[in-house]
Amino acid sequence: MNPRAHGLGIAAIACGLLLCILPALPWYSADLPTGSDELTGYGASATTWILPVAGAIMMIAGLLSAWWRPPTGTRVARILGALVVVAAVAAVAWAARAALAPGVQVVAERMGQAAAPLDGDWPVTVLPAAWIAIATAALAGMAGILLLTARPEDMIGPDDLL
């Protein structure tokens, strides 16, 4: 039993849970002539759907790591760590894409007329939930890397290095 793998598993579960919740929070804000408006990660960017999927993968791998407590660097820990790292890389990439290049357009909807983009320079502010999603995914990736990395005191035998 390895307490380090247990702690890293708990960290992966927590980060995965956050990645499932964060896209539902407001990610963008715009000040318009009619007032201020906010959009969630789902409402503004079609790419944030990958965050809950990556979060679910992280939670499953973290749960298995916390339950089995494999010594870091062993086959099981490397597989679980690789799952967390791959999910984290995907989550960081898509969250950064949504936060750094928001595809938000201000559109006027009038009764009886087709929706049309509003002319003018309407600044769109990226809210903290977008930045927290990037940081959360990066932290999960670090936990996965620590699961991959072997420490001499965690090794059971020469087969663990294969």
CA dist., res. 111 & res. 99, Å (int):
32
Q: Are 72 and 123 spatial neighbours (Cβ–Cβ below 8 Å)?
A: no
Map tokens 């595809």 to a residue: 103
Q: What is the pLDDT of residue 44?
A: 67
pLDDT of residue 153: 66
Interval 138-144 mean pLDDT: 96
User: Taking all residues of the chain, what is their mean pLDDT, rounded to a whole number?
Assistant: 85
Domain span at residue 147 reads: 3-161
Q: What is the CATH number of the domain that holds 94?
A: 1.20.140
* Domains identified in the chain, total number: 1
**Is residue 54 over pLDDT 90?**
yes
User: Is the distance from CB of 122 to CB of 30 less than 8 angstroms?
Assistant: yes
Distances (CA, A) of 34 to 30, 84, 103, 113: 11, 44, 21, 18
pLDDT band (50, 70, 90) for residue 40: confident
Range scoring the smallest mean pLDDT among 15-19, 36-40, 115-119, 146-150: 115-119
Cα–Cα distance for residue pair 68/61, rounded to 1 Å: 10
Q: Per-residue pLDDT for 47 more than 90?
A: no
Task: Give 30's contacts (C-beta < 8 A, 6+ positions apart).
Answer: 36, 37, 104, 106, 122, 123, 124, 125
